Each structure stands twice: as structure tokens, then as C-alpha cells.
Amino acid sequence: MRYERLQSIATSVVKSTLSALPEEIRDEAGACRIEFCEMDALIDIDEDLDPDLLGLFEGNARCDPLPQSPDEMPRIRLFLDNIWDECRGDLATYKHEVRITFLHELGHYLGLDEDQVAELGLA
């Protein structure tokens, strides 16, 4: 499937996921930028990235001090090509995985560690 279509679907999934969250979490999430990326395009730029990542939270979490530089601004990246590959081209599975990956990374932004995110069923 073309990347533009994957991005359109992911945008819709993230919007509906956000709208279903409690208002206080939705408000907190508004301060975190969400980016849709292709891992294939980034791996040459950042060799430290795991080429199999589905998503990544970067920057200061909500519970951290206010960002002092652009590098500290909170950002969630969803690697749509990797998610699509992980789902083996199944659209329903792709939508589900976009949702779970987004919520997983949002959990990190909200200050949860890997174990806490897993306890919520988002691992």
C-alpha cells in the first residue's frame, strides 16, 4: 500500500483514539507532537534507531521539567512502513496496531515506563 494511504489511515486512527480518551488525558496529549514516518527514510539519518521499531517517544515526558530546547520537545513517531510490514498487509490489523503503538508511546509521554505500559496491555 502506498505511504500516503497508510498515513491517511493512521491519521484517522490517531484522531479517533484521541477523541475516545478521557478529556484530561486528551488535553495532556495535545502538548505532544505526533509524527508519521517511514523508517526506511530515517535509518540512513539516524543509525542508532532500531530498524524494527513501530513507534518511539522522544523528548521530555509530561512529568519532566519544561523543555529548554527543541530537542526536549515531546514527540511521538509512528513508523508506518514498519507497522504495515508487521501486519503483513492486513488493513484491520494495521489499524489496531497503529492504535496500540500510539497509546504505548503516549503512555511514555504521560510518564509510564515499559512495565507500566505493558500492564495496561499496550506492549
**pLDDT at residue 48 in the model:** 79
DSSP state of 70: G
Q: What is the mean pLDDT of the chain?
A: 90
Domain 3-119 class?
Answer: alpha beta
**pLDDT at residue 41 in the model:** 73
Taking residue 90's Cβ as centre, other Cβ atoms within 10 Å add up to 12
pLDDT tens for each residue of 44-94: 667 778 889 999 999 999 888 877 887 789 999 999 999 999 999 999 999
Phi, psi of 42 (to 5 degrees): -95, -25
DSSP state of 119: H
pTM of this structure: 0.89
Residue in 5, 7, 6, 100 with CA at minimum distance from that of residue 55 = 100
Q: Which residues are paired to 37 by β-bridges?
A: 79
**pLDDT at residue 71 in the model:** 76
Phi, psi of 119 (to 5 degrees): -60, -25
